[in-house]
Chain A
Amino acid sequence: MAGLNPGRAARRPALWRPLVLVCAGLYFLVPLAASVIFTVDVPGEGVTFDAYTQILGTEGFVSSLLLSLELAAATIAVVLLLMVPAMVALRLGAPRLRPVVEVVCSLPLVVPPIAFVAGLGTVLKWGPEHLSRTPLFQTFVAIQNPDFPVVLVLAYVVMALPFVYRALDAGLRAMDVRTLVEAARSCGANWPQALVRAVLPNLRGALLNSAFLTLALVLGEFTVAQLLGFRPFAVWIVNVSGSQAQLSVAVSVLSLLVTWAMLLALASFGGRARTASASRG
């Protein structure tokens, strides 16, 4: 393009591209900037950083954030333990199951979170209504323990499946699992060794990617937690917004920026890993 028609090709993008980028930049940055101003410049008080210094001391912040982080850790562990062996097995020995797994992992996309939680709430109500005389009732009580609601982990694992499937699929596509495993087996490794020491290190980027996406999903999740009556981070932000508007906006902006920085760091890390492996072989 540039070689054939240099004058036209060089002039046109120079005009429209900055224009589009500036407009988009304005639309996407103004709300963030305005939020920062909103938290810092309180009417009647002048410029103050109270909203940020108060965050740590506010009732419920630490406990709700910790709850969210614990839920995220549990969700990441469960979803990876379920998905990694399954995805590797699909490449190795059960290719006919692949469409099944693909459909199963895409199903949560068809059921919006609000519809999912409506069904989940119905199931949870069976506990007191039908099962109160059976041992299963204790299970129903236990998974709804407000200190660590296992039922949220179950829901979040389901909601993370599409993201994790895509991340792992992309990672596995970039490598030859069968050859790797066969090489490891020829060198005398047993199956778990081949998986842990040959396949997983090559999947590092995809594993990190899945973990971060799941973390971001759990930290920001509001619908399921609120409607089931639990109080992790996002629900706490909404609850606190009524009395402390500045504080809730400050926490919101921080959480958006932190998520973005995390994923950006991951992207640059992944990019470097990719170029490194490409130059190696």
Chain B
Amino acid sequence: MTAVVTEADTPLVAAASPKRRPRAGGWLAVLPLLAFVAIAFGLPALAMLNGAFTVKDQSSGATSYTTANMTASVQGAYLTAMLGSVKLSAVSAGLAAVLGLPLAQAVVTSPFPALREAVLTASGVLANFGGVPLAFAFVATLGNSGVLTRQLGLTDKGWDLYSFWGLVIVYLYFLIPLMVLTITPALDGLRVQWREAAQNNGATGPQYWLHVALPVLAPSLLGGLVLLFGSAFAAYATAAAMVGSSIPLVTLQIADAISGNVLVGQENVALALSLDMVLIAGLVMAVYLPLQRRSARWLA
């Protein structure tokens, strides 16, 4: 055994030294990224966590730890806003999932690759970078003096863009593209052979979808739904540019509290509300990631 070691000694050392250098280099290359995130992201996150559980006495300036902020963040107007956000996100995410699936299927089975490329790129733009421009496009279309509102006399029929359903229509404009983006890989993964096999066994189209396609798609669909919910829940720019704060949404409440619009000294409640949002977003991710991993198995 000793003989073997001494024989292998020289090549081992030679092989180890170039291997060890890149490993040290690897750590060094990753270190700036981790340091940056620790400062630019970790510090604000810790400040939020700390602020959510502290309260500052206005007269003495002393701070003390308390759960009062967290309690306040789930009461009264804040609770209404939280429920409003959850309701708006759930309704628009559900609708977007139902409407996005046929659109994605139409794009995936389309014989024109250019159409697919254009739709997927447009989806990327709308899903991620809509925000303010999106809000104004809808104000110009369906707002009080919008083109469609005037042409069709929608105001007389009780239409109001600055309402719950108005926001749902606007939110769908970025949620449907997000659904298309999320579900397209899964639809691509549906094998033609499965449909053929189902047809050979005498299954009709609806039967194929009910018993073969949907069960395979279920994790992706659910994952997409959860992701859409998270995206709608976190949206602020669209709502802020459109409705100001006439609709109770948790993002608008946080913004109001940060800028001191409501009451002085509500900053820490804003931090508590932010923490609530992070918890909900974390829950969303905790549901989404396993579902995504599960659906990825079928796409391999």
Chain A interface residues (CB < 8 Å from chain B): 1, 4-5, 12-13, 16-17, 20-21, 24, 27-28, 30-32, 34-35, 37-39, 41, 43, 78, 81-83, 85-86, 88-90, 92-94, 97, 100-101, 104, 106-123, 126, 154-155, 157-158, 161, 163, 191, 213, 216-217, 219-223, 226-227, 234, 237-238, 241, 245, 248-249, 251-253, 255-256, 259-260, 263-264, 267-268, 271
Give complex CA distance A81, B32 in Å: 9
Chain B interface residues (CB < 8 Å from chain A): 19, 21-30, 32-34, 36-37, 39-41, 43-48, 51, 102-103, 105-107, 109-110, 115, 117-118, 120-122, 124-126, 128-134, 136-142, 145-148, 150, 172-173, 176, 192, 195-196, 199-200, 205, 233-234, 236-237, 240-241, 251, 254-255, 258-259, 267, 270-271, 273-275, 277-278, 281-282, 285
Min Cβ gap B88→A in Å is 14
Give complex CA distance A27, B128 in Å: 18
Q: Verify B137–A115 contact, CB threshold 8 A.
A: no
Q: Verify B40–A222 contact, CB threshold 8 A.
A: no
- Chain B contacts for A226, CB-based, 8 A: 240
Residue of B whose beta carbon sits closest to that of A255: B133
Q: Verify A93–B26 contact, CB threshold 8 A.
A: yes
Indicate whether A93 sits within 8 Å of B51 (C-beta atoms), given known contacts A17-B106, A222-B241: no
Give complex CA distance A113, B254 in Å: 11
Q: Verify B139–A24 contact, CB threshold 8 A.
A: no
Q: Verify A264–B117 contact, CB threshold 8 A.
A: yes
- Chain B contacts for A92, CB-based, 8 A: 22, 25-26
Q: Verify A216–B254 contact, CB threshold 8 A.
A: no
Min Cβ gap A40→B in Å is 10
Residue of B whose beta carbon sits closest to that of A12: B205
Give complex CA distance A43, B147 in Å: 10
- Chain A contacts for B48, CB-based, 8 A: 115, 118-119, 122
Give complex CA distance A217, B129 in Å: 6
Give complex CA distance A80, B139 in Å: 37
Give complex CA distance A20, B41 in Å: 42
Give complex CA distance A171, B21 in Å: 25
Give complex CA distance A115, B237 in Å: 13
- Chain A contacts for B137, CB-based, 8 A: 31-32, 34-35, 249, 252-253, 256
Interchain Cβ contacts under 8 Å between A and B, 14 examples:
A12-B205, A37-B147, A38-B141, A82-B32, A93-B21, A112-B277, A112-B278, A118-B271, A122-B44, A158-B40, A158-B41, A234-B237, A241-B241, A263-B125
Give complex CA distance A39, B106 in Å: 33
- Chain B contacts for A122, CB-based, 8 A: 44, 47-48, 51, 267, 271
- Chain A contacts for B106, CB-based, 8 A: 16-17, 20-21, 24
Which of A16, A24, A111, A219 is the one whose CB lies under 8 Å from B278?
A111
Give complex CA distance A221, B118 in Å: 23
- Chain A contacts for B139, CB-based, 8 A: 245, 249
Q: Verify B136–A115 contact, CB threshold 8 A.
A: no
Q: Verify A115–B254 contact, CB threshold 8 A.
A: yes
Other A-B pairs beyond A30-B148, A112-B233, A112-B277, 5, CB < 8 Å: A20-B105, A90-B30, A119-B274, A163-B128, A216-B129
Indicate whether A1 sits within 8 Å of B192 (C-beta atoms), given known contacts A35-B137, A38-B147: yes
Q: Verify B258–A86 contact, CB threshold 8 A.
A: no
Q: Verify A17–B110 contact, CB threshold 8 A.
A: yes
Among A38, A90, A213, A219, chain B packs the most CB atoms within 10 A around the CB of: A38
